[in-house]
Amino acid sequence: MKTLFTVGDLRAALAPDRRDGLTIGLVPTMGALHEGHLSLIRRARAQCDRVVVSLFVNPAQFNERSDLDRYPRQARRDAALAAESGADLLFTPTVEEIYPPGFATAVEVLGLTDRLEGETRGAAHFRGVTTIVTKLLCIVLPDIAYFGQKDAQQVVVVRRLVVDLNLPVRVEACPTVREPDGLAMSSRNALLSAEERSRALALPAALNAARVRAAAGERSGDALLDAAREAMLPFGVEPEYLALVDPDTLEPLGALAREALLAVAAQIGEIRLIDNAVLNPTAARLDETQSIDDETLQPTVTSTPRQPLPRKAIA
Ligand code: AMP
């Protein structure tokens, strides 16, 4: 794996591949790589001839200087992990390389960015995200760009900007990778104290509770949100937002009549975490032999279902 620091070097490295018609995959990250990021890199490796991983802690998308300052940075370890997972090129530009003096352009997706994260973090956050993603797409010109469903709103917003700006790239959303106890992996998890780490389980617990209620047939949005909120209480965690929304428009949904996104954000001490689950009313209902798997948040069989007696035995 080659590590490149400038736009010029990256373009030069990719030029022969592009000429040869090779497919290029891009995995944008802010580093402090964990299994969630690595799953994206592996997916890119499986689907593309060349895999570019970008590592850039983008100051423009941080609301608070303190959050930016304490964001974990471990470039050497990240390089080793990216290489092991199949990256060909690691692009780690400096802030000046990305935002040189005189930089004056922003990309903004309207509407979608007002909700959920936008509502709590303000318009500047998503403007920072959409500007850097557009820049990375223009710099790398990948065939496929990989994003995690963990940041569900980001996926929706990026899909919108790619369509609206006619960018010739396919956006792939990859499933959320979780710790064995259900906590969604995040670079910020490393900043939690032991006590905060236990309280952070409030987020997957909320999603789990709503999923269990949905699987039992509950269709009322309020009832599902109540179940989720209640599940957070024992952890002493208040959601910053907890919302059932349309997975494409992010408009609030009053009922689970079709696929819906349940999104949650909460502040655990100094650290802000987000998580989400897709709820599906057509998913098989749970019966008494099933429960929800903490890791995948999917129904699993916990005991052997009782078999019906064979016809002969009845006769
Ligand atoms: P970040 O470094 O936090 O900007 O994340 C880089 C990419 O990795 C984004 O597309 C994230 O959605 C994705 N990602 C982060 N955490 C996870 C996770 N637990 N599972 C899957 N993808 C993730």
pLDDT-above-70 percentage for the chain = 90
Mean pLDDT, the chain, whole residue set = 92
Select from 137, 105, 108 the least CA-distant residue to 122. Answer: 108
What local confidence, expressed as pLDDT, does residue 309 receive?
Answer: 38
Report the separation in Å between the CA atom of 314 and the middle of ligand 1, taken as the mean of its atom positions. Answer: 55
Across 149-197, the runs of DSSP E, i.e. the strands, are: 170-174
What per-residue confidence (pLDDT) applies to 78?
A: 98
Q: State whether the beta carbon of 56 lies less than 6 angstroms from ligand 1.
A: no
- The model's confidence at residue 303, banded by pLDDT at 50, 70 and 90, is very low
In this prediction, residue 296 has a pLDDT band, given cuts at 50, 70 and 90, of low
The CB of 273 under 6 Å from ligand 1? The reply is no
Residue 284 pLDDT greater than 70, yes or no: no
Residue 37 annotated as catalytic: yes
pLDDT in the model for residue 7: 98
Q: How far is the CA of 31 from the centre of ligand 1 (A)?
A: 10
Q: Is the beta carbon of 36 within 6 A of some atom in ligand 1? A: yes
Mutate to test the pocket of ligand 1, among 56, 62, 126, 150 (most ligand atoms within 8 A of CB): 150
Please tell me the predicted confidence (pLDDT) of residue 178: 98
**Active-site residue, from 37, 150, 160, 211:** 37
Nearest Cα neighbor of 92 from 82, 100, 104, 101 is 82
Tokens read off for 250: 């992010």
Tokens of 150: 């963990």
Write down the pLDDT at residue 282: 86
Q: Residues 140-154: pLDDT tens digits?
A: 999 999 999 999 999
Q: Which pLDDT belongs to residue 315? A: 32
**Which residues touch 3 (CB under 8 Å, ≥6 apart)?**
79, 89, 90, 92
